[in-house]
Structure 1
Amino acid sequence: MESYVKQSMEVYSNGSFAEIMNFRNTEDPPFDFPAWVLFIVVLFVPLLNAPMFLFGMAAAKRGQFLHPSQESRRYLRWALLVPVGLGLKTTGVMLGKDHDWSGVGTLLGGQLLALGYLYLFAFLYAHSSRTSLVIRSFEAVGRMSLTNYLMQSVVCVMIFYGFGLGMFGKLGVLQGTLLAIVIYIVLAIGSLLWLKRFRSGPIERLLRIGTYWSWSGRAKPKTVAPSVTTIDS
């Protein structure tokens, strides 16, 4: 495992695009599992995230985020999952990777922490001014979520991979956290400036064009057949 990690750091931080893609496609990870076990793992991994999608669908159906000022108490209760999730993840790390329950604490803590962050931000949003720059920045990022998601990937590839700045494996936890905050701030500012001129992000616009088959990105109005009035003689 150690040699594989060192090789990965060397390729990702110094390799060209072709070398990185070749490494990802041909190099086998150092897991001592038979092929059928890996197949089952890959097959069932999406099910680990399925509950989060179902939770989001249920929350949207119940309208939990339509009226933030009326739901602030609910947000505050669910925000208590933040310390719970942090506690579970910390416990998993402290137990060590060789402990049987360390992975459970880390995995479960991550899921609960994500929910806690969601409701914590919703609570802060409910008690913030809609005209503040911070809130408008968050809203702009949300309106361009797919564009920003892809832009984060592009920016990080250029920062960490060898055909960019080659910083892969060279940043600590604190430096990585600060870099993530800086990237988010830059994308938030870019989103604000973009939405001052356009109604949606570029990728969102393309998605709407493909969805509605319309260059305007809007649904075509349905034509209603004229009603026929009959006169009984």
Structure 2
Amino acid sequence: MEEDGRRTLVMGAVALLVIVVLIGGFLIWRHDPKAELTVKSIPNDLTLTLNGAPIAASGTIEVRPGTYQLLAKRDGFQSYEQTLTVRGTDPVSVEVYLYANGPVGVEWGKNNPEQEREAEAAAGRRYDEIQARLAAKYPILAQLPYIGPDFKATYQNSKSDPTNPEAISVKILVYGPSGKKEALEWITGNGWDPASLDLIYTTG
């Protein structure tokens, strides 16, 4: 009888422990929101890391809210790095396309024509998107190149932010004594703020 009592006590303790673990797990899960991160990569055999930890080149994983660094590498291709921000449980989708920068990458493209075409199409879409954002951010682009009496205005990749594909510098080639003054008058006369532009002056 005493043994039955001990068995009942042990079983009760085990049942209580299971309930505590389940409740604790539920509370942790409820206060630990995660979002789905879906990645699609070309080449599909590249090496992909998220904050330094390897993940599948293509697929879906769960991540907590926060900021992440995505890094893609493969022999024969230009590496790609992107900062991701995950907010709450909102799903995040990322497309990673590496572009060949050597014989190994060119050969891979020949052997994988479908993926190569998809990467080229993505490059075209990305270029169009960047150009649209640049045009919205820099209205002056609609007037460039512009030739004034003593200056010529063009643009180039940003000198102050060279790694940002969505930043530019306005290059003013001054070839007359009043070139700089005329350039500033042309800028302000069109309603643009010189202080908001990354201006580069050269002479020639």
The bucket for the TM-score relative to the shorter chain is under 0.3
> Which structure has greater helix proportion?
1
Q: Which has the higher contact order (CA 8 A, sep 6+)?
A: 1
The TM-score with structure 2 as length reference comes to 0.23
Q: Radius of gyration: which is bigger?
A: 2
> Which structure has greater strand proportion?
2
